[in-house]
Amino acid sequence: MEKELLWRASGRGSKKQSLQHATITVDTLGKIQERRNKKAAINTSRTRAEKTKAQGEYTELNKLVERSIRTDKRKYVEDLAMTAEKAAREGNMRKLYDTTKKLSGNHRKPKRPVKSKEGKVVTNR
């Protein structure tokens, strides 16, 4: 819940970014910020020794961030799967359909407009 609120508070980006951002927890965002700071330390280092030390720290932190993002995404997908299973048990087909679409990541627009039996366009999407 807090990760979604964090994204909505920033109010920027596309739907794809918001979906990716919704999978990341606040703890992981903190690690990402630390990684950015280490990257800045690499770029501002004055000697080769400082730079190699900073690069080693950055590499370790980068591995932690990637691992954390993977676990967050796995947890997000498992939560969606549990939601889909619950919706299927309850017979809530709308929620099941929406959750399945989120899991599949298949968001395509229809090629032609939907028409009624009389031939009038129902929607322009």
pLDDT > 60? residue 90: yes
Give the SS3 label for residue 115.
strand
**pTM for this predicted structure:** 0.66
Per-residue pLDDT reduced to its tens digit, 3-52: 544 544 455 555 555 555 778 899 999 999 999 999 999 999 999 999 99
- State residue 13's pLDDT score: 52
The whole-number pLDDT of residue 5 equals 43
Q: Hunting for tokens 């954390």 — which residue is that?
A: 68
Q: Which has more confidence, 117 or 50?
A: 50
Residue 114 CB contacts under 8 Å (≥ 6 apart), including other chains:
121, 122, 123, 125
Q: CA angle 62-66-68, nearest 5°?
A: 115
Report the 3 state secondary structure along 61-95. HHHHHHHHHHHHHHHHHHHHHHHHHHHHHHCCHHH
Coil, helix or strand for 121?
Answer: strand
